[in-house]
A and B are shown apart, each in its own frame.
Chain A
């Protein structure tokens, strides 16, 4: 009974983690950027969905859709205002671009967090579920929205897979992650590839943010933790490996759920942190990473 409960709840939370982390991994794979404002984009989308659906009274469907839109806008802003100026700056030496992007996106995330706390709220919010009702899965009473959440996540991941593997734009993306210089030599504009990948990233992170806010609730204070969890999942799976992130998300998600149910909810994150340290020590490239 309890095992089944863990199985069901763990599945939903892991799927959400996966969706959040995949975009993060994609950006790193294609453009080498670790976006530490990741949590900020997720929460911005969630707060927008909550505000439009609740206080503005537009209903949960419009709210969720516009929330995703806001997330995409924030993703573009992150790229246009923070990442791109650093990449193009001549005053920053090439080998230090990485630390500058890390520091700048971290600052940008703090700015998003403070702005949300000031203009909207810093108390926890919950976005209204898209559908109501409870479904009985072998005796485990599961909210229908939890099932819908997992379904939306998997459909999004499936669409991403199709996009990357079956369309021309997607293949360009894949090529950019393998050898950007060769792609430029073949006459492709790298900056339009980057725009595409940030758009995809924005959609994925925003969907994850809105759904997470329906499932667990969220608040501007969660931004740092959300970024850290995406970062750990991506490193555990191997930087730049999308399928690795997917598997790592399930490992972390289930490890946390099992700890929370069987040991204590306060220790929730400890085993996954220790696992992460262990893996990084023994296998720095992550479980499925390429070096």
Chain B
């Protein structure tokens, strides 16, 4: 039953370019990349138990590496790979303190990492375009439908990989490390190795998605891929959809982006309303949308 339902949803999503406007496709394309950001964040928070306030540090590294290389004439596919690699290296650097620090201390380090990256981009404005942003000449595709399908396939593939990873033996060990590192160690699991791996995987997907997003948008700017408010949106999406579910994070991200777009006529108030909705969900349904549905399903 569930599989049939999932297949129908997937078919509807895949067929969208045939019957909806380019505007809706554009909104959903961005939303799908955000979905990957949120899923990658959920792997770190929900499973490894690490509060990463700076998902945009990894995304920004991927995005700017890809953008800068492209401006030097490197082909697109190589830029995307390089962006992902840069993010993985950044993720491992970020993971080093995580092996020593807990909770708020690690959260602060990730926050500072974003602030430092942001300042570096602004200071080296000559190379990076500073606050205005970096213009990127190449695009993934000029056709909105193709861009949409690319984002959809990317979302699905990332989702399947991250979900099966979280349900695998390694994912369970990771979860144990996140909940009680000392006990996990006593059981003979290498906590450091699993956490490093989680950071590398999360960074890989964040960097890939960041790099692909800038080629879709045609620009890399602090406001779209680095700013703390972008990171906050990713965190809200993951918590809203339901942490520790991976799938929920993607649904939360799509919901958040689409809701923001629908509420756009409210003008400046739309961020207020979206934040208020997210706060209400956190207060009344702390398990998130998917978590809530799953629990109801279990009870029935």
Contact = CB atoms under 8 A, between A and B. Distances in A.
A280 B97 contact: yes
A103 B239 contact: yes
Given A100-B286, A232-B112, A239 B275 contact: no
20 contacts: A82-B279, A82-B283, A86-B283, A104-B283, A106-B232, A107-B236, A107-B275, A107-B278, A110-B229, A110-B232, A114-B269, A115-B272, A224-B228, A267-B119, A269-B115, A269-B119, A280-B101, A280-B108, A280-B109, A284-B100
B107 A277 contact: no
B272 to A, nearest CB: 4
Given A102-B51, A104-B282, A104-B283, A231 B101 contact: no
B51 A99 contact: yes
Contacts of B278: 107
Contacts of A228: 111, 115
Contacts of B239: 103
A92 B286 contact: yes
The A interface is mostly helix, strand or loop, or mixed, namely helix
Given A107-B279, A110-B275, A276-B112, A98 B103 contact: yes
A85 B51 CA distance: 21
Contacts of B228: 224
Contacts of A102: 51, 104, 107
B116 interface: yes
Interface in B220-255: 228-229, 232, 235-236, 239
Contact of A277 (B51, B109, B268, B287): B109
A239 B107 CA distance: 13
Contacts of A281: 97, 100
Contacts of A270: 116, 119
A202 to B, nearest CB: 20
Interface in A72-123: 82, 85-86, 89, 91-92, 95, 98-100, 102-104, 106-108, 110-111, 114-115, 117-118
Interface of B: 45, 51, 97, 100-101, 103-105, 107-109, 111-112, 115-116, 119, 122-123, 179, 228-229, 232, 235-236, 239, 268-269, 271-272, 275-276, 278-279, 282-283, 285-287
A162 B112 CA distance: 35
A91 B286 contact: yes
A100 B282 contact: yes
A280 B105 CA distance: 7
B273 to A, nearest CB: 9
Interface in A170-200: none
A: contact size bracket: 35 or more
A98 B104 contact: yes
A235 interface: yes
Given A103-B239, A107-B236, A118 B283 contact: no
B268 A117 contact: yes
A227 to B, nearest CB: 10
Contacts of B229: 110, 224
A34 interface: yes
Contacts of B269: 114, 118
Contacts of B279: 82, 104, 107-108, 111
A268 to B, nearest CB: 10
A85 B101 CA distance: 28
A132 interface: no
Contacts of B119: 267, 269-270, 273
B282 A235 contact: no
B105 A235 contact: yes
Contact of B271 (A89, A108, A114, A266): A114
Contact of A231 (B97, B100, B108): B108
Nearest to A104: B282
Contact of A267 (B103, B108, B123, B236): B123
